[in-house]
Amino acid sequence: MKAERCLPERLSHHLSWLTQYDFPRDFKFDLIAGITVALAIVPQEISLASIMHVPAQYGIYTAILTPLLYALLGSSRVLSVANGSEVSLMVGAALQHIPSVDERVAVGIFLSFYVGMINLALGYFKLGVIADFFSRPVMGGFLSAGGVLIMISQLGPLLQLPLPPSTYPLQTLYDIGAHFSRINWTSFGVGSMAIALNAAMKQAKRHWIPYVALADLFDAKKKSTTPSDDHVKAFNIHTPKGDDDDGNHPTWGFSLHDHEYATLDALTTALRAQSVARNQWWRTLGFFLLRTICDLGPLVICTVGIVVGCIVGEHRVDVLGHIPTGFPAPRLPWYGYTDGVITSVRFADVSIQASSIALVVYMTSIAIAKRLAVRDHYTVHPNQELVGLGVASALGAFFQVMPPTGGMSRTAVNMQNARTQMSSIVTVALVVFVLLVGTEVLYYLPKACLAANIIVAGFWLIETDEAKWLYRAKRDEYYVWLASCLLTVGLGILPGLVASIVCSLVAVMVQTKQPEVSTLARVNAPGPTHTVQYVPMANAAGPSSVMLCATSASIMVDILVLRIEGSLYFGNCNNAMELLQRATMTY
């Protein structure tokens, strides 16, 4: 009996990658992808925990369970789900005014459960279509502004300044200027070098190191195998011997027939090709390793940072400190309310934050998943994405995770090599191993290095290329992108999200405020019934209209037939009436 027959039909459909998994073909790709993502995700999750103002272990907890749950229920093959920069910034904005660490953790865990339940409800009622109501320029401007806000939020840890929490980014910049004399220049130097190294690695990967796919590496390995049996037989040519037992007479030798010359020449050619293939394989392996190291920029930064932290000492720079080992114990996500831990935050405020975070979680994840699905020729189901993300967040909250989302940087690393979500399972296994035995080495990691990783990640969220393209091709949508970006930077992440939604609605209203009104002409169709058809003759806006049908159609003398293209609503009714009146007056 096949495995999929034991599962419900809908679950079997989304687990088809597991029930039909080809281990010899796919596992080597998924194994390397999983190891690479695991090496990148640990320092990234620790860095994102600092944005959320929670201890570092809660970032690692999120990287343990949520990728596994999404791998079983999500519809994307390569989306990597854990903490993300934009969502972590929103969680941090919700928690930054809470003075107690225990209360911040309790609110963050409850937010994860709340966000998951909201996404599950949206998926149950098949409301995945909400993604279609947010234009790409609006979301692009919002996410680009999120990158700017992420960079601003990490200036305090980079400079080692104890800044007061602020809702407005401009206030944070003002506070930095006011405390300029208290900057820790050692911390600034360590962070600046980390930023420079991380940026240099990304530029090297983009411009100087050729792209090498993992499949190319395995193909090159096959080409460097041993020569065939026919070629090996050519080695068995012996020197004929005469009466001298040693066969060393200077005038004796051996002759080759034509076919023996051909065999020896084929052997030489095969050996030369094999040598070239071996050299090509080592060259391919070198480029692949260099690109992988560049993808692991956060890991390289943290490794170098630990060495620097040990040399400089924790008395000169703030270090990460002790991270508890061990797997988190299950706990009810709402323990903060039942145990009286949450006292300074109203439930209504948490509900508003959870709703906005749930929206951004889905919007960012579905955008990444759809883009990758088009590239790899498969289908992503929006409602199933809501279910996968919802279960990962809600069920993960029982194991003390923060709200997860799809991460672009992790997914970009994963999609280079992964074939299925088995890579996420490999990643989870390695992260569990690190949490159990490897957290002690992170004690001397400077917090400035974590801030540097986040600043570089925030910089790459700014979509300048899209803004340039919109400015050249679609100027009106460029202004929407710019308005969404500037409003979010000026007002903060949550007011900026509301402003971006308003910008999206205003853009739709502006584009539909001028309805098209067409003048219809009569065409007498041939046939026994002499059917009368009306076809669009011209737009009713004026004499510069373009003809839309054949010249055989004729406008009736006493009757003017107009058709409004599109729907009428309060925003375009007046304009439609003006067009109708103008058409009747000029008829």
d(CA 152, CA 166): 11
d(CA 231, CA 262): 11
Q: According to the 3-state scheme, what is the secondary structure of 108-135?
A: HHHHHHHHHHHHHHHHHCCCHHHHHHCC
Same-domain check for residues 205 and 310: yes
d(CA 536, CA 522): 9
What pLDDT was estimated at residue 216?
66
Same-domain check for residues 311 and 437: yes
Q: Is residue 29 part of a domain?
A: yes
Residue where the block lists tokens 């990148």: 40
Is residue 330 classed as helix, strand or coil in its secondary structure?
coil
Q: What is the mean pLDDT of residues 446-461?
A: 91
pLDDT tens sequence across 495-526: 888 888 888 888 888 888 888 877 777 776 55
Same-domain check for residues 427 and 545: no
Read off the pTM: 0.79
Same-domain check for residues 163 and 300: yes
Q: Is residue 439 part of a domain?
A: yes
Same-domain check for residues 522 and 456: no
Same-domain check for residues 402 and 527: no
In the predicted model, is pLDDT for residue 189 greater than 80? yes
What pLDDT was estimated at residue 548?
42
What pLDDT was estimated at residue 530?
42
What pLDDT was estimated at residue 228?
47
* Strands of 440-543, DSSP E: 516-524, 532-539
Residue 412 tokens read as 């970009």
Q: Maximum Cα–Cα distance for the chain, whole Å?
A: 124
Say if CB 88 and CB 48 are below 8 A apart: yes
Say if CB 79 and CB 369 are below 8 A apart: yes
What pLDDT was estimated at residue 525?
58
CB-CB neighbours of 102 under 10 Å: 12
What pLDDT was estimated at residue 274?
63
d(CA 294, CA 288): 10
Q: Is residue 220 part of a domain?
A: no
Of 106-115, 161-170, 436-445, 537-546, give the lowest mean pLDDT range.
537-546
Same-domain check for residues 50 and 124: yes
Q: Which residues of 230-268 are buried (b: 16+ CB within 10 A; e: fewer)?
A: ebeebeeeeeeeeeeeeeeeeeeeeeeeeeeeebeeebe
In the predicted model, is pLDDT for residue 249 greater than 70? no
What domain count does the chain have? 2
Is residue 562 classed as helix, strand or coil in its secondary structure?
strand
Q: Is residue 280 part of a domain?
A: no
What pLDDT was estimated at residue 6?
44
Structural domain for 38, as ranges:
25-129+149-211+293-347+381-461
In the predicted model, is pLDDT for residue 315 greater than 50? yes
Q: Is residue 239 part of a domain?
A: no
d(CA 432, CA 60): 9
d(CA 390, CA 117): 6
Q: Given 427, 442, 461, which residue is the final one in a domain?
A: 461
Average pLDDT taken over every residue of the chain: 81
Same-domain check for residues 542 and 430: no
* Strands of 44-155, DSSP E: 81-82
Same-domain check for residues 568 and 445: no
Q: Is residue 19 part of a domain?
A: no
Residues in Cβ contact with 40 at an 8 Å cutoff, skipping those fewer than 6 apart: 295, 296, 298, 299, 409, 410, 413
Amino acid at 401: V
Query: What backbone phi and psi angles, to 5 degrees, belong to 536?
Result: -65, 125
Residue 543: pLDDT band by 50, 70, 90 thresholds?
Answer: very low
Is residue 567 classed as helix, strand or coil in its secondary structure?
coil
pLDDT tens sequence across 2-48: 444 444 455 555 666 677 777 878 888 888 888 888 888 899 999 99
| Greater pLDDT, 334 or 326 | 334
Name the DSSP class of 549: S
Q: Is residue 503 part of a domain?
A: no
In the predicted model, is pLDDT for residue 579 greater than 90? no
Is residue 126 classed as helix, strand or coil in its secondary structure?
coil
Same-domain check for residues 434 and 520: no
Same-domain check for residues 73 and 172: yes
In total, the chain counts a number of residues equal to 587
Amino acid at 413: V
Of 425, 406, 368, the C-alpha closest to 80 is: 406
pLDDT tens sequence across 128-137: 888 877 788 8
Same-domain check for residues 444 and 522: no
d(CA 468, CA 428): 39
Residue 34 tokens read as 């999983």
Q: Given 461, 483, 498, which residue is the final one in a domain?
A: 461
Q: Given 461, 476, 498, which residue is the final one in a domain?
A: 461
In the predicted model, is pLDDT for residue 381 greater than 60? yes
What pLDDT was estimated at residue 420?
80
Side-chain-facing half-sphere of 60: CA atoms under 13 Å: 25
Q: What is the mean pLDDT of residues 339-368?
A: 93
d(CA 435, CA 419): 26
Q: According to the 3-state scheme, what is the secondary structure of 490-557?
A: HHCHHHHHHHHHHHHHHHHHHHHCCCEEEEEEEEECCCCCCCEEEEEEEECCCCCCCCCCCCCCECCC
Q: Is residue 122 part of a domain?
A: yes
